[in-house]
Amino acid sequence: MPIKNRFSEMLPEITAIRRDLHENPEILFDTHRTSQVVADQLKAFGVDEITTGIGRTGVVGVIKGKTDTKGKVIGLRADMDALPIHEQTGLEYASKTDGAMHACGHDGHTAMLLGAAKYLSETRNFDGTVVVIFQPAEEGGGGGREMCEDGMMDRWNIQEVYGMHNWPGKPVGTFAIRAGSFFAATDQFDITIEGKGGHAAKPQETVDSTLVAAHCVTALQSIASRNADPVDQIVVSVTSIESSSKAFNVIAQRVEMKGTVRTMSAEMRDLAEKRIKEICDGVCTAFGATADITYHRGYPCMVNHDEHTEYAAEAARAVSGQCEDAPLVMGGEDFAFMLEERPGAYILVGNGDTAAVHHPEYNFNDEAIPAGCSWWAEVVEQRMPAS
């Protein structure tokens, strides 16, 4: 595997940074220590410009090439935040914070981009400018959106942007990508069903909100099976049901439900929102109950740009000799906001035979660091060859 030799030499240093981040996880926008570590490392590496506080706690670094004859600027993005999960790996560098862990490998993403930043600052073997982007709050907070809303793309004149995620189950150092829709739009809904509570021995005097909720859950599955085109991807899941009664002999006055919708197109997203409201209103009317429905639009579908997907794949092939076609992923990714602002692409790098992401026994595989760093550097050197 033609990994850049410098990254093999750098592996102990970058691994140490990664494990320090793993030991000190921070959630959503509360990445204050992580952001400081990133800023300090960038300064030590000789990055030309470092700005903190973008998107609340994001960090942006600027690295200038040996030449700049065309004014080209490329952005490279890594996420920094952890998850509210209690770690169960037993590692000597396991999380020291109860209820927080790097269960998705963002510690690895940050470390790999730091490694690439060090190499690019050392060599500067490119014609143009690299902007390294360290983003908070990917796990549900929309940090990518906030960095964009802070004017990041225009402020640094970023013209194209690239992201990466580790992928358990894929051999270490191999890559996969797909053009077009890649990660799903992720929306949430809250439904409150109001009936008429009463004694469980006298159901005729009540409007049983639990029964109504059960019919709603079943009916909502008809969105995917009977409303959506079978070739379109859509998942509607009710994930939480809680009634106002905790007693065995009380019919609840109220039931609250929560759930998620995953779609791969704007049309399916609109359809899901419309049908959830129509179905729940209709079922409740039939039973004499009422429904209060709130639909929250979360991350949009992440769409790789065709031309830039090929650039990313070409860089991957230069590093590992291959780049496979990736499957559609029904999980969400807020790099989608950056790809709505600028053309670019998002790639997967193999994490080996490890626990799945978002699992308490997951751990980023440090053996993937040289490949990930090499890909970042290869994207820059291929897209902005030294003049």
pLDDT (tens digit per residue) in 291-343: 999 999 999 999 999 999 999 999 999 999 999 999 999 999 999 999 999 99
Instruction: Encode pLDDT of 22-78 as tens digits.
Output: 999 999 999 999 999 999 999 999 999 999 999 999 999 999 999 999 999 999 999
CATH 3.40.50.300 fits 185-299, yes or no: no
Q: How far apart are CA 206 and CA 191, in angstroms?
A: 20
DSSP assignment, residue 253?
S
Is pLDDT at 137 greater than 80 in this prediction?
yes
pTM of the predicted protein model: 0.95
Is pLDDT at 202 greater than 50 in this prediction?
yes
Torsion of CA 360, 365, 368, 370, to 10 degrees: 120
Which parts are annotated binding residues? 104, 106, 139, 165, 358
Residue limits of CATH 3.30.70.360 in the chain: 185-299
Instruction: Encode pLDDT of 154-181 as tens digits.
Output: 999 999 999 999 999 999 999 999 999 9
Specify the pLDDT at position 1: 41
To which residue do tokens 């026994």 refer?
A: 361
Which parts are annotated binding residues for Mn(2+)? 104, 106, 139, 165, 358
Instruction: Encode pLDDT of 219-254 as tens digits.
Output: 999 999 999 999 999 999 999 999 999 999 999 999
Specify the pLDDT at position 2: 64
Kindly list the distances between the CA atom of residue 333 and the CA atoms of 276, 298, 367, in Å, as whole numbers in the listed order.
23, 10, 24
Q: How far apart are CA 291 and CA 207, in angstroms?
A: 13
Relative to beta strand 344-350, strand 160-167 is parallel
Task: Please enumerate in sequence order all residues whose Cβ is within 8 A of that of 246, keeping only pairs 6 or more positions apart, or say none.
Answer: none
- Around Cβ 342, how many Cβ atoms within 10 Å? 18
Residue limits of CATH 3.40.630.10 in the chain: 5-181+301-383
Confidence of residue 387 (pLDDT cuts 50, 70, 90): confident
CATH: 3.40.50.620, 3.40.630.10, 2.30.30.140, 3.40.800.10. Which one for 5-181+301-383?
3.40.630.10
Residue type, 193: I
Relative to beta strand 129-135, strand 73-79 is parallel
- Around Cβ 382, how many Cβ atoms within 10 Å? 14
Confidence of residue 363 (pLDDT cuts 50, 70, 90): very high
Relative to beta strand 175-177, strand 185-194 is unpaired
